[in-house]
Structure 1
Amino acid sequence: MARRRLLLVAAGGVAIGVATVTGRGGGGHLAANAQEAPHTGPVRQPAKAASNAHPARAAGHAPPRTVGTVGGQPMYYVDDGLDVIALTIDDGPSPVYTPQVLSILEKYDIKAAFSMVGENVTYYPSIAREVADAGHTIVNHTWNHANLMSMKRSKLPGEVDRATDAIHSATGQRPGMFRAPYGAWSPTLLDYCASEKLAPLDWSVDPQDWARPGVSKIVKTIMGTTKTGSIILEHDGGGDRSETVAALKIVIPRLIDEGYMFTVP
């Protein structure tokens, strides 16, 4: 399991999640997705535990949205009211799993944020359009799921801008948010996101579905750690996501039954 630590940047006072490439919510690399389908791939206090909650969150309160500015923090929680949560889907689009996820979301009338890898968008532009046409939010997730932690600013356009261009070409939309692969943020990356008017998006509930731990484990993690403001991380790309699809069919109605409402970050 990947380890995560915090780096406090004295100049800006920014808490930045640092993760290894092999871990934190990374999902599979682009190649895994491409291979899966050849190019012919009342007041209720939140009492649930939050073992993977970001340390910056004060109990019961989401931090203010200071995203999209120089020195702004990534968004780990939404702040839209009691029992409001968000669902995010990463590493697609996938011709196999994205349509299945869309079908589930349509059934429960839920909107989600899909963090798309630019290269995958070029492989499956019609799937990206389906996501956009269904009213979901599309987030820039780099061109090829690279770890940008130590990347020089001069190299960032090739990962960030190139993905934006691919998404715009396929959907007619330009993303307003950016999610760093592996949750790996650096001051340079945050500053670049601000310059490009991309709000940095992270997450607070990670069932590590990308590692295929089993449907029951994914469900248990989500149900046990989700609370008001949580941003849930799931994946529709990067490999075999059948467990994710099966888990979503279980957790979404359960979360609704518990009184949760879904928003987008």
Structure 2
Amino acid sequence: MVRPLFLVAALLFTVPVRAEVVERLPTGDKVVALTFDACEAKGQPATFDRPLLNYLEAEKLPFTVFATGLFAERNAADLARLVKTGLVEVENHSHDHPQHMQRLSPEAQRAEIDRADAAILAATGTRPRFFRFPAGNYDAAALALVESSGHKVVHWRWPSGDPAKGLAPDHLRDWVLAKVRPGDVLIFHINGRAPATHVALPEIVRELRRRGYGFVRLDQAVP
């Protein structure tokens, strides 16, 4: 009778905890997290959207950048300066933005994580806590691998769609303001390939403030 009980106990303690994706902040308060993907893939150099970055800095808004390793290497000086303001954190968005990272071998996936960590650490002095899959694509194995590397995956409850070609700023503004709820993680892009965002975001922020919302970095709100 002892042996079966021992086996059951062993199984209970060895079953892995199911990995999860954070899609909203763990609060019902009127706060949102502004997050910006800074994507750079191989052969596609990218820099900051200057009007958007200038606005965020002028307003002293706290925000989170999910940077690829390639972007971090190319924009290291800007990232270092932003982190020193105390308003910005920089998190991991893979090294070179493979659209379907889950299709890579486990070794290649781990290299995507580690190389981006190293580039961000070199630029900012801080190792990322969070990870965001390129294009939001993942499977259970890739999610478990990311968590085993010490990162928590943060996506979103709904996408802004700001990189869509031909997107008008007023449509982006209206879409975001119609969808936003307390605790939302808002996703935009800051790599110069979402031209509607720097026009729409000031109006979005102004209206959210009027509604009583505040803004937080992810590391201030996600345990």
Tell me which interval the TM-score lies in, with the shorter structure as reference length: 0.7 to 0.9
**TM score, norm. by length of structure 2:** 0.81
Say which of 195, 211, 229 aligns to 2:148.
195
Output the CA distance in 2 between the equivalents of 1:86 and 1:121. 21
Q: Go from structure 1 to structure 2 and tell me whether the alpha carbon gap of 1:240 and 1:155 turns closer, same or farther (over 3 Å shift).
A: closer
Question: Match for 1:227: what amino acid?
Answer: R
Question: Match for 1:134: what amino acid?
Answer: T
Deviations 1:129-167 (A, max 9, x none): 123222211110001111212222121122110000011
Q: RMSD between aligned alpha carbons?
A: 1.9
Question: Match for 1:74: what amino acid?
Answer: V
Output the CA distance in 2 between the equivalents of 1:111 and 1:180. 22
Bigger radius of gyration: 2
Say which of 160, 168, 193 aligns to 1:207.
160
Gaps of 5+ in 2: 1-15, 41-45, 219-223
Deviation at 1:70, TM superposition (A): 4.8
Say whether the 8 Å CA contact 1:207–1:217 is kept in structure 2. Answer: no
Output the CA distance in 2 between the equivalents of 1:128 and 1:106. 12
Output the CA distance in 1 between the equivalents of 2:33 and 2:48. 23
Deviation at 1:91, TM superposition (A): 2.0
Question: Match for 2:69: what amino acid?
Answer: G
> Which residue pairs with 2:32 in the alignment?
85
Output the CA distance in 2 between the equivalents of 1:101 and 1:134. 17
Output the CA distance in 1 between the equivalents of 2:79 and 2:206. 25
Say whether the 8 Å CA contact 1:71–1:190 is kept in structure 2. Answer: no
Q: Go from structure 1 to structure 2 and tell me whether the alpha carbon gap of 1:164 and 1:70 turns closer, same or farther (over 3 Å shift).
A: farther
Output the CA distance in 1 between the equivalents of 2:76 and 2:17. 32
> Which residue pairs with 1:127 in the alignment?
78
Number of matched pairs: 195
Question: Match for 1:78: what amino acid?
Answer: L
Deviations 1:24-75 (A, max 9, x none): xxxxxxxxxxxxxxxxxxxxxxxxxxxxxxxxxxxxxxxxxxxxx9522111
> Which residue pairs with 2:89 in the alignment?
137
Instruction: Tell me whether 103-112 or 78-87 shows the greater mean CA deviation.
Output: 103-112
Instruction: Give aligned-pair identity as a percent.
Output: 23
> Which residue pairs with 1:161 in the alignment?
114
Deviation at 1:203, TM superposition (A): 0.8
Q: Go from structure 1 to structure 2 and tell me whether the alpha carbon gap of 1:133 and 1:182 turns closer, same or farther (over 3 Å shift).
A: same
Q: Go from structure 1 to structure 2 and tell me whether the alpha carbon gap of 1:154 and 1:240 turns closer, same or farther (over 3 Å shift).
A: closer
User: Which structure shows the bigger proportion of residues in helix conformation?
Assistant: 2
Gaps of 5+ in 1: 1-68
**TM score, norm. by length of structure 1:** 0.68
> Which residue pairs with 1:219 in the alignment?
173
Deviation at 1:263, TM superposition (A): 1.5
